[in-house]
Amino acid sequence: MDINFLLQQFINGLQLGSLYALVALGYSMVYGVLLLINFAHGDIFMFGAYMGLFGSIVLGWPFLPTLLLSMAVTGLLGVTIERVAYRPLRKASRLSAVITALGVGLLLENGMLALTGADPRSYPTGFVSDQVYTIGGLSISTVKILIITLALVLFLGLYLIVQRTKWGMAMRAISYDKFAVPLMGVSQNQIIALTFFLGTSLAAAGGILWGTAFPVLSPYMGMRVGWKAFIAAVVGGIGDVRGAFVGGLLLGFVEIFVVALGQPFGISSTWRDPIVFALLLIILVARPTGIFGVARRQKV
């Protein structure tokens, strides 16, 4: 096992972790503002991937216009879901919101199944260049470069919005005290809608990038990815965008290195998920709030 092998696995882990991070950001943003676990988020990721399929095959658009179309349409879908399904339940019990989120996810899954069928789909050849560069024994494809670079750019853009703009300040204020913010003249509904738009559009970007790296799209593809992204958000500290991104990268690294380093010891890839979740459980036992999370105090 040489250094080139380890560096190659590091690049693979960075690619997979970047995909998880994009989906985890949406989980973290919605929870930070509404304290709601949007369990339909994985299926919104799936919807974004299929919107990319529509743009690339039906419209015949190249990658960048298709990405922007998918992010915009999926963002509007997120706003619609918040307005129709979640807003009426803000004062209801959290259990009602969780059940509704699961119902929305099932609706998206089965709706896409009815529209497209169960056959796996993939993006057309040439949608993204698959050229491979060899640098010092390392193989780096344009797909890997695209995924890592775009994920980092989107994360930095989101972080700047949250930290440097008045909308981001309003999001953080609602996360801190959602009852006092409307008294300051801030429209809670608008800020929550913006939060859903940003979170779901990032999930759409993750869906398209996932389809370029792993070219098998199905209506149920969001189930597994959604759960893993949720775990990543919790490990990083749900409610904090930095934590979601770091948690996604950590999950990607752990998955890749468990498979790569486990094979010489007779550990098959089927043990990947149990080992990954066990390691992440250890992290949560050591720090229940996650890496960047802060314990919330509530006066009673």
Higher pLDDT, 155 or 91: 155
pLDDT higher than 90, residue 71: yes
Q: pTM for the complete prediction? A: 0.92
Distance between CA atoms of residues 288 and 35, nearest Å: 16
Higher pLDDT, 95 or 79: 79
Distance between CA atoms of residues 77 and 45, nearest Å: 11
- Per-residue pLDDT, averaged over 2-10, amounts to 87
CA 152 to centroid of chain Cα atoms? 13
User: Helix 3-34 to helix 166-176 angle, to the nearest 10 degrees?
Assistant: 70
**Which tokens go with 173?**
């204020």
Distance between CA atoms of residues 26 and 293, nearest Å: 16
pLDDT higher than 60, residue 298: no
161, amino acid identity: I
Distance between CA atoms of residues 27 and 206, nearest Å: 13
Please identify which residue in the block is written with the tokens 């089965």.
Answer: 110
* pLDDT in the model for residue 278: 83
The structural domains of the chain, ordered by start, are 8-286 (1.10.3470)
Helix (H) or strand (E) holding 60: none
Evaluate whether 219 touches 114 at the Cβ level (below 8 Å). Answer: no
255-267 pLDDT, tens digit each:
898 888 877 767 7
- Per-residue pLDDT, averaged over 202-209, amounts to 95
Distance between CA atoms of residues 154 and 136, nearest Å: 29
- Per-residue pLDDT, averaged over 86-111, amounts to 90
157-188 pLDDT, tens digit each:
999 999 999 888 888 888 777 777 777 878 88
DSSP character for 121?
A: B
Distance between CA atoms of residues 290 and 300, nearest Å: 24
For 295, phi then psi, to 5°, come to: -65, 135
Higher pLDDT, 17 or 129: 17
Distance between CA atoms of residues 148 and 144, nearest Å: 6
Average pLDDT over the chain, rounded to an integer: 88
Evaluate whether 21 touches 147 at the Cβ level (below 8 Å). Answer: no
- Per-residue pLDDT, averaged over 4-20, amounts to 92
pLDDT confidence bin for 300, thresholds 50/70/90: very low
Task: Go through 57-79 and write b for each residue having 16 or more CB atoms within 10 A of its CB, e for each that does not.
Answer: eeeebebeebbebbbebbbebbb
DSSP character for 217?
A: B
Q: What percent of the chain has pLDDT over 70?
A: 97
Tell me the chain's radius of gyration from C-alpha atoms. 19
